[in-house]
Amino acid sequence: MAQNQASVAPMGKGKRSKVVRYNKWGYIFLIPFVAVFLVFNLIPLISTFYNSFYENYMDGLTQIGPTFVGFENYKQLFSDANIWKFSANTAIMWVMGFIPQIIVSLLLAQWFSDSRLRLKGSTFFKTVIYMPNLIMASAFSLLFFALFSDSGPINDLLVNKLHILDEPFKFFSSVWGTRGLVAAMNFLMWFGNTTILLMAGIMGIDVSLYEAAEVDGASSWQRFVRITLPLLKPILIYVIITSLIGGIQMFDVPQILTNGTGNPTNSTMTLIMYLNKHLYSKNYGMSGALSVVLFFITGILSLVVYNIMYRKRDKEA
């Protein structure tokens, strides 16, 4: 990041050097970042790896360990079916939320940035769709929990007002009901944010390209697929990778919505909620191992997404 900057000193001033170096400022400005990164990221990261090789937890007030156990924690982690189940839960709920999120966001971003449509009050709507992101996920979850409870307003509406159902639908006792709610909340919270990002990307595209395409008789769908999407790729990659990481770290919404239980039958238990469960007994060994696994999953998935997206562009080019 540091750029070596040099400038030529004014003529006729001293004989030592005609070049004044500014690159030390680059390093000085980097110090805060490096310090924060070391203390809050790198050291915890390394200690997580370190902890994952030890048996170390509390049994009541008795500390068990730390004893070096090699890969025992990893063995235990992968020997039981839970980790696969919880990974699948996380993936399912992320996909269920992300697909509508990216579609709606693309659509809205396109509409909002299309000057031809002359949408009225677009500033107002841009603000409104961003609003859910401003509410804390926890408050949002509590709201949904109240709305969709067995005798909550939604059931009241469905049964007593609209007469669609004969008896209340128990959202939180239904696997897909609860997963659907988690996905819907993630979608609602994040589509506004994604829209704004994509809009910024779309508005960065040279208008003359669209004009040229129009002169050549391209339809609006063709303009979208042939101009907008390819040029939007860097932003799209950014959006996909950040929400992927966010998805892998999904915690707050399902945690609060199900009161930490991952009900029904652990079908909404995400990997981070599982991690959180290990901390009940301060099980640093197992939670360390799980964190390391998460670290690799995140890294690998990000690389995969990055490579797929860029390889395609290289081919096209």
**Closer CB to another protein, residue 83 or residue 309?**
83
Q: Is residue 146 a contact point for another protein (CB under 8 A)?
A: yes
**CA angle, 198 then 204 then 210, to 5°:** 100
283 contacts another protein (rule: CB under 8 A) = yes
Handedness of CA 157, 162, 166, 170 (dihedral sign): negative
- Provide Rg for the chain, Cα atoms: 26
Binds another protein (CB under 8 A): choice among 26, 45, 58, 237: 58
CA distance 89 to 153: 28
Using the minimum distance from each CB to another protein, give the nearer residue, 228 or 283: 283
86 binds another protein (CB under 8 A): no
From CA 176, how far away is CA 261, in angstroms rounded? Answer: 16
Q: Which is nearer to another protein, 41 or 123 (CB)?
A: 41
Helix axes 122-134, 175-203, angle to 10 degrees: 130
CA distance 192 to 133: 7
- What distance in Å separates the CA atoms of residue 155 and residue 163, rounded to the nearest whole number? 10
Is 136 near another protein (CB under 8 A)? Answer: yes
Strands 54-59 and 62-68: antiparallel
Candidate list 220, 281, 298, 302; residue touching another protein; CB under 8 A: 281
> Nearest approach, Cβ of 18 to another protein (angstroms)?
47
83 binds another protein (CB under 8 A): no
Residue selected from 88, 142, 157, 200 as contacting another protein according to rule CB under 8 A: 142
Contacts of 229 (CB under 8 A, 6+ apart): 236
Is 277 among the residues that bind another protein (CB under 8 A)?
yes
> How many chain residues touch another protein (CB under 8 A)?
44
User: Candidates 8-16, 55-63, 95-103, 220-228 — which segment interacts with another protein by CB under 8 A?
Assistant: 55-63
Residue 79 binds another protein (CB under 8 A): no
Name the residue nearer to another protein (CB basis): 57 or 187.
Answer: 57
Name every residue whose Cβ is closer than 8 Å to that of residue 223 and which is 6 or more positions away in sequence.
Answer: 210, 213, 214
**Which of 139, 225, 300, 308 is close enough to bind another protein by CB under 8 A?**
139
Burial of 94 per CB tally in 10 Å (0-12, 13-18, 19+): buried
Binding site for another protein (CB under 8 A): 57-64, 80, 82, 136-139, 141-142, 146, 149-152, 170, 173, 175, 246, 249, 251-252, 255-256, 259-261, 263-266, 274, 277-278, 280-281, 283, 286
